[in-house]
């Protein structure tokens, strides 16, 4: 789940780290079984641990918070077609109580996904378990801390990803048609209701389809989700992702619509070309800008969307001293009919990757 949404949950007092649920034991057993199966198949050597560890400082609308975040990812191949992948987010949220009091911290964790992927062929992959809800592209592609260019999630992120950003159920996905000039992909999923702490999900059905044009490196897609609990409702979305060949720009954007509101965000990141002069390589810097608007259509209770019509613009700068480390700072200004506010963030992230069986040397 994205940092901002997690913070919103914390602020709302909905997250608690202290209760221990028996299902955590079940998750642990599943992980143990998965590793045992991998070891039995002689493939434990191929399992890897990836992820990131980071520290985020934010000063949002007068509220300062410090957030250490650890996001491990474990990948365990089973044979040539199966893969078990899992990721959790362990996060702290340290802020002044009451705005001016002493700093107090809360720590919590959530299982983002624990899924079994069966790659039948390039047209079909069957996924079962807990997975990131595939609505538009932000949650699935840009969700990890080391991937999104700005730390705050877009305002419209909660649309189509209720209730937790993850789904428990099944999903099929793949490429329908692949031609040199274009490629059509699809994803269809069903999720069951779960109110288990840290494993929550909404009862929903959804689909996503996208067309990718490799020559122009442009992807266009659309998403649909039917929320099948409480008041049944539909959410729609559209997205684009474009990396033009002539310029080192990474442009992305999304539009999402729900009965509670609709909005969009557009982001562009520019990676300088390596000048190679004077020791300062501009290629390590990446300025980012994002603009977004949200329009409230109906009041919603704990839907995590802004309460009123909102506009926001963010400016950020990423610096990569080495490829696995990123320093980021950003400033955002938010405009609403009630008040305007400033959002500052600074973050350092280290992205790691090593074999799970680190004691086994790689065979040549």
Partner 1 sequence: MQAKSNLVALALVAMSLCFAVSSRAGRQQTNAGAKGAAKVDEAAEGEKRFVTNCGRCHQPPSDIPPREAKAVLRQMRVRAMLSSEDERLILKYLAP
Task: Identify which of residues 152 and 219 has a Cβ nearer to partner 1 in the complex.
Answer: 219
CB of residue 359 to partner 1, shortest distance in Å = 13
Task: Identify which of residues 60 and 223 has a Cβ nearer to partner 1 in the complex.
Answer: 223
Segments in the chain forming alpha helices (H): 3-11, 22-40, 138-141
Task: Identify which of residues 105 and 214 has a Cβ nearer to partner 1 in the complex.
Answer: 214
CB of residue 282 to partner 1, shortest distance in Å = 14
Q: Which residues bind partner 1 (CB under 8 A)?
A: 45-48, 50, 75, 77, 83, 85, 117, 119, 121-122, 125, 127, 140-142, 147, 173-175, 178, 185, 214, 217, 219, 241, 243, 250, 271, 320, 322-323, 353-355, 362
Task: Identify which of residues 66 and 211 has a Cβ nearer to partner 1 in the complex.
Answer: 211
CB of residue 1 to partner 1, shortest distance in Å = 17
CB of residue 163 to partner 1, shortest distance in Å = 22
CB of residue 179 to partner 1, shortest distance in Å = 12
What is the Cα–Cα distance from 48 to 353, expressed in whole angstroms? 7
CA angle 21, 171, 27 (to 5 degrees): 20
Secondary-structure percent of the chain, ordered helix, strand, coil, rounded to 5:
10, 55, 35
What is the Cα–Cα distance from 109 to 46, expressed in whole angstroms? 27
Task: Identify which of residues 24 and 141 has a Cβ nearer to partner 1 in the complex.
Answer: 141
Q: Which residues contact 103 (CB under 8 A, 6 or more apart)?
A: 66, 94, 95, 96, 97
What is the Cα–Cα distance from 222 to 186, expressed in whole angstroms? 10
What is the Cα–Cα distance from 326 to 285, expressed in whole angstroms? 10
């Amino acid at each position: 789940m994205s940092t901002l949404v997690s913070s919103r949950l914390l602020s709302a007092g909905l997250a608690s780290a202290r209760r221990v649920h028996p299902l955590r034991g079940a998750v642990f057993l599943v992980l143990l079984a998965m590793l045992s199966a991998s070891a039995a198949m002689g493939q434990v050597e191929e399992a890897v641990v990836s992820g990131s560890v980071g520290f985020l400082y934010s000063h949002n609308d007068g509220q300062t918070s410090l957030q250490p975040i650890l996001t491990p990812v474990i990948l365990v191949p089973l044979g040539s077609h199966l893969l078990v992948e899992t990721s959790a987010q362990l996060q702290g949220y340290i802020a002044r109580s009451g705005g001016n009091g002493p700093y107090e911290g809360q720590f919590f964790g959530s299982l983002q996904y624990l899924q079994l992927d069966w790659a039948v062929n390039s047209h079909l992959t069957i996924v079962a378990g807990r997975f990131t809800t595939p609505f538009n592209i932000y949650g699935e592609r840009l969700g990890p801390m080391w991937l999104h260019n700005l730390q705050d999630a877009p305002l419209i992120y909660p649309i189509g990803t209720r209730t937790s950003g993850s789904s428990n159920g099944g999903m099929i996905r793949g490429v329908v048609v692949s031609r040199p000039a274009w490629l059509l992909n699809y994803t269809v999923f069903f999720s069951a209701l779960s109110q288990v702490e840290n494993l929550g999900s909404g009862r929903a059905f959804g689909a996503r389809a996208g067309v990718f044009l490799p020559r122009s490196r442009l992807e266009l897609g659309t998403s649909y989700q039917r929320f099948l609990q409480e008041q049944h409702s539909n959410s729609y979305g559209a997205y684009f992702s474009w990396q033009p060949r002539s310029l080192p720009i990474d442009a992305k954007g999304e539009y999402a619509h729900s009965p509670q509101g609709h909005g969009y965000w557009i982001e562009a990141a520019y990676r300088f070309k390596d000048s190679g002069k004077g020791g300062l390589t501009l290629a390590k810097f990446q300025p980012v800008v994002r603009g977004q608007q949200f329009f409230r259509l109906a009041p919603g209770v704990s839907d995590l969307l802004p309460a009123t019509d909102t506009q926001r613009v963010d400016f950020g700068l990423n610096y990569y001293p080495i490829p696995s480390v990123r320093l980021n700072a950003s400033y955002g200004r938010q405009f609403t009919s009630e008040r305007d506010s400033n959002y500052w963030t600074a973050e350092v992230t280290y992205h790691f990757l090593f074999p799970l069986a680190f004691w086994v040397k790689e065979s040549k």
